[in-house]
Structure 1
């Protein structure tokens, strides 16, 4: 007969797996857009899972496991950046917002419709690499991962009003980022994705590509 202590451990392990496993793909996607390779993203998620297991007793509300996991993963990614001495790439916010305004106010409706039609999947994820991390994170968590404003505020440790502001402006920056690269997006040669991969690598490696407004 299995001792009671072993039974308890098995029950906790089963509960942990049931709560964490459904979120691994999302966590990996979040990490992959902030690391230089898939292997590095997988290592970050694995470390987050180890930390989550060690701190599992501190999860008071199982319904909040997803924001809890994101908090842990963001801490892992931050530790990795600090350890490697990386710096966030600086982007010209003004340039991206000007691109957005030009796209919305331009006369080339056909291009606008085509660009909007391609704002799905990898195009959006790649364009997120072009905008500052604070805005990219807020937009990604809300529009891709489906977090509510309050959940994002809790994860990021910022007021809910700041979350709403970052999402609003982040969406404009995202549209501007896509617009600035629309020629690449509208070609089917895969160059746009390769350029985005290079930008992600530059961000992870500490390349300064512009100045913030």
Structure 2
């Protein structure tokens, strides 16, 4: 069995065939990536209905764009970029629609992995609460910070891959991830889901002056 998130050995063959119009080959690509694409659209869009629409638009864009796919980046990175663009387009449409309608973390310090199959009921409930809080926190972030953080922490893309996916430079990606972690930590602290860092002795002494 291939390792998780690793491309199928037949992927190059499927891409070559799909570029020539082979729908069965493209269907194989869809099956390989549909779970990851839907996971990304769900977190970027915030609800299942929009996520499904964005995922469909991403795969449609992939089918239409495959004849022009040169392989400068991996197929996964290319597909992630199409998915990201589909989500951003949908969110902008929703924002315009809502406006027209009128009013109506350091890696070690903040972990996104909150599941443990060996834990008891109380621990499971606490972890589920934290997971939901993280999801709410992600949705509260500015669009660019949210997408960069999701791609990094939840989909394990490299900084270079995130830059390619979002169409931004590497420095911006690093800045958004750093700022996004801090904002997410702030959200969790303010909502009682995360403990603020203890002040250093130096800080405590300064506060006593």
Smaller-chain TM-score range? 0.5 to 0.7
The 1-side partners of 2:149 and 2:93 are apart by 26
* Residue 130 to residue 154, structure 1, CA distance change in 2 (3 Å): same
User: How much does 1:144 deviate?
Assistant: 0.8
More helix per residue? 1
TM-score, normalised with respect to structure 2 = 0.60
Equivalent pairs counted in the alignment come to: 153
Partner residue, 1:194: none
1:45 is paired with a residue of what secondary structure?
A: helix
2:141 is paired with a residue of what secondary structure?
A: coil
Q: 1:45 aligns with which of 47, 51, 55?
A: 55
Unaligned runs of 5+ in 2: 1-16, 100-108, 110-122, 195-209
User: How much does 1:36 deviate?
Assistant: 5.6
Partner residue, 1:59: 69
C-alpha distance after superposition, 1:62-105 (max 9, x if no partner) = 971222122212222233234341579xxxxxxxxxxx9xxxxx
Contact 2:46 2:139 in 1 (8 A): no
TM-score, normalised with respect to structure 1 = 0.59
Unaligned runs of 5+ in 1: 1-7, 89-99, 101-113, 186-213
User: How much does 1:143 deviate?
Assistant: 1.0
Partner residue, 1:177: 187
RMSD of the alignment, in Å?
3.4
Q: 2:145 aligns with which of 129, 135, 140?
A: 135
